């Protein structure tokens, strides 16, 4: 299979749906209320995504998983967004999908850098302290360095290596110092997922996103040479800033995949053979690892990891008519087991999670 096709298959497996973005006049007008420092093009695209989510009247049970790709020179730009979920599992799911997509595209050792700027309250407190610090110490910097420090604070990450700038950056306040309790809890859960999945990451306290758009989790993924391959952030507060009636939690990212020739074709994945059901936080932690193991075994498995309610998960499984359920509750999570239920014959069995690929492959043949 072509490298780009393999990479495209990863988001599709995890539930992302291909779409074509259509930016209308309303989207441009809404984006125009934000400063150009936020990235006008980004604001317009996000406005269109949020409008589409509202027009489709998606309820809280089923968030929107969107996948789009476009060519930019010798690269394919893949955009991924999860709209309608504020929980940390959405952050972990998005990062996981990106890392596996990069590996399928030929990147051997993608490396995650992650930070949190907190919610609006947290970031406003940080911004006030950063401004005061800059007024007190910024005059010691050369004029060009003052501008670079400002741009870095605004989320462009154009870090200056001048000695004075490095000293300024070392002593300046960071967003992490001003997280309130809720923001700190959210970020702690994101890191817990990363550690459970053994994702290689470092805490990058200076990493920021566009200040008029970004909230909570910010991340960047580099290769071994330091080249940025993907970046993303939450934009929970953007909907209200754009004039929507309510706040719409969302997180998105872009991936740069090297590839010559035509773009890969986005097709729907095969009908799911199984549906993963989780009960409890610990089971959810293991869910991403189980799903990836089954993906590598070419067993299409759907999920509702972003929803905690059993009724919603069962309803989704009913809609998809999946023949088998994989159920992991607290007991199974502790023991490292899973329950497979044959929905047609009302038969079920418990086995080690490591045995799931072989057993399901046998049942589905």
Local structure of residue 329 (DSSP, 8 states): -
Local structure of residue 276 (DSSP, 8 states): E
Asked whether 339 and 348 are in contact (CB, 8 A), the reply is yes
- pLDDT of 34 higher than 90: no
DSSP result, 102-118? HHHTT-S--EEEEEE--
Give the list of residues 6+ apart from residue 86 with CB closer than 8 angstroms, or none.
236, 249
- pLDDT of 8 higher than 80: no
Asked whether 280 and 333 are in contact (CB, 8 A), the reply is yes
Q: What is the pLDDT of residues 324-365, one digit of tens each?
A: 999 999 999 999 999 999 988 888 999 999 999 999 999 998
pLDDT at 76: 85
Rounded to the nearest 10 degrees, the angle between the axes of helix 281-296 and helix 88-104 is 20
Q: What is the pTM of this model?
A: 0.88
DSSP result, 50-104? HHHHHHTT--TTS-EEEEEEEEETTEEEEEEEEES--SHHHHHHHHHHHHHHHHH
pLDDT at 262: 46
Residue 189 CA to residue 100 CA, distance in Å, equals 20
Local structure of residue 286 (DSSP, 8 states): H
Domains of the chain (ranges, CATH numbers): 3-119+180-258 (3.30.930.10), 120-177 (no CATH), 274-364 (3.40.50.800)
Q: What are phi and psi of 324, to 5 degrees?
A: -130, 145
Residue-averaged pLDDT of the chain: 85
- Weakest-pLDDT range from 36-40, 272-276, 317-321, 334-338: 36-40
pLDDT at 54: 84
pLDDT at 284: 92
Choose between 7 and 334: higher pLDDT. 334
pLDDT at 36: 42
For residue 30, name the pLDDT band (cuts at 50, 70, 90).
confident
- pLDDT of 263 higher than 60: no
pLDDT at 79: 92
**What average pLDDT does range 39-57 have in this prediction?**
79
pLDDT at 151: 55
Residue 22 CA to residue 45 CA, distance in Å, equals 8
Find the angle CA(271)-CA(274)-CA(277) to the nearest 5 degrees.
Answer: 130
Asked whether 53 and 64 are in contact (CB, 8 A), the reply is yes
β-sheet bridge partners, residue 278 = 328
- Weakest-pLDDT range from 146-160, 179-193, 197-211, 298-312: 146-160
pLDDT at 156: 43
The SS3 assignment for 234 reads strand
How many other CB atoms are found less than 10 A from the CB of residue 343? Answer: 15
pLDDT at 286: 92
Q: What is the pLDDT of residues 118-131, one digit of tens each?
A: 998 898 898 889 88
Q: What is the pLDDT of residues 49-90, one digit of tens each?
A: 898 888 876 555 568 888 888 887 788 889 999 999 989 999
Residue in 344, 357, 304, 311 with CA at minimum distance from that of residue 82: 304
- pLDDT of 261 higher than 90: no
The SS3 assignment for 348 reads strand
Rounded to the nearest 10 degrees, the angle between the axes of helix 181-196 and helix 88-104 is 40
Strands 64-72 and 75-83: antiparallel
For residue 164, name the pLDDT band (cuts at 50, 70, 90).
confident
pLDDT at 69: 84
Burial class, 310, CB count within 10 angstroms (exposed 0-12 / middle 13-18 / buried 19+): middle
- pLDDT of 4 higher than 60: no
β-sheet bridge partners, residue 357 = none
pLDDT at 155: 44
For residue 191, name the pLDDT band (cuts at 50, 70, 90).
very high
**What average pLDDT does range 190-205 have in this prediction?**
89
Q: What is the pLDDT of residues 230-259, one digit of tens each?
A: 999 999 988 888 888 888 999 999 998 886
Residues in the chain: 365
**Percent of the chain beyond pLDDT 70?**
87
β-sheet bridge partners, residue 338 = 351
CA atoms within 13 A on the CB side of 77: 11
How many other CB atoms are found less than 10 A from the CB of residue 46? Answer: 26
Residue 109 CA to residue 224 CA, distance in Å, equals 6
- pLDDT of 152 higher than 60: no
Residue 271 CA to residue 301 CA, distance in Å, equals 9
Asked whether 340 and 349 are in contact (CB, 8 A), the reply is yes
Choose between 7 and 68: higher pLDDT. 68
Asked whether 213 and 38 are in contact (CB, 8 A), the reply is yes
pLDDT at 197: 84
Stretch (H or E) spanning 324: strand 324-328
């Amino acid at each position: 299979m072509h490298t780009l096709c393999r990479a495209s298959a990863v988001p599709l497996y995890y539930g992302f749906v291909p779409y074509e973005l259509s930016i209308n006049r309303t989207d441009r007008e809404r984006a125009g209320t934000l400063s150009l420092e936020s990235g006008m093009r980004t604001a317009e695209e996000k406005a269109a995504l949020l409008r589409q989510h509202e027009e489709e009247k998606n309820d809280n049970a089923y968030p929107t998983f969107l996948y789009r790709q476009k060519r930019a020179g010798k690269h394919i730009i893949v955009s991924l967004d999860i709209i309608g979920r504020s929980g940390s599992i959405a952050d972990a799911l998005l990062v996981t999908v990106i890392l596996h997509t990069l590996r399928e595209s030929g990147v051997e050792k993608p490396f995650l850098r992650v930070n949190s700027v907190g919610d609006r309250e947290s970031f406003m407190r940080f911004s006030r302290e950063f401004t005061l610090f800059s007024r007190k110490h910024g005059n010691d910097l050369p004029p060009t360095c003052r501008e670079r420090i400002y741009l870095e604070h605004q989320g462009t990450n154009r870090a200056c290596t001048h000695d004075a700038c490095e000293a300024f950056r070392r002593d300046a306040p960071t967003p992490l110092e001003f997280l309130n309790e809720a923001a700190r809890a959210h970020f702690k859960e994101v890191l817990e997922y990363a550690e459970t999945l053994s994702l290689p990451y470092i805490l990058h306290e200076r990493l920021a996103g566009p200040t008029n758009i970004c909230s909570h989790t910010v991340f960047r993924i580099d290769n071994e040479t330091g080249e940025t391959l993907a970046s993303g952030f939450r934009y929970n507060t953007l909907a209200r800033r754009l004039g929507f009636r309510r706040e719409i939690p969302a997180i998105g990212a872009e991936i740069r995949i090297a590839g010559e020739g035509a773009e890969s074709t986005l097709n729907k994945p095969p009908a799911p053979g199984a549906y993963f059901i989780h009960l409890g936080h610990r089971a959810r932690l293991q869910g991403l690892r189980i799903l990836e193991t089954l993906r590598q075994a070419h067993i299409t498995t759907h999920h509702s990891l972003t929803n905690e309610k059993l009724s919603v998960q069962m309803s989704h499984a009913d809609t998809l008519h999946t023949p088998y359920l994989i159920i992991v509750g607290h007991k199974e999570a502790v023991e490292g087991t899973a329950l497979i239920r044959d929905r047609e014959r009302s038969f079920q069995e418990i086995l080690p999670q490591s045995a799931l690929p072989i057993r399901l492959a046998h049942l589905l043949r």
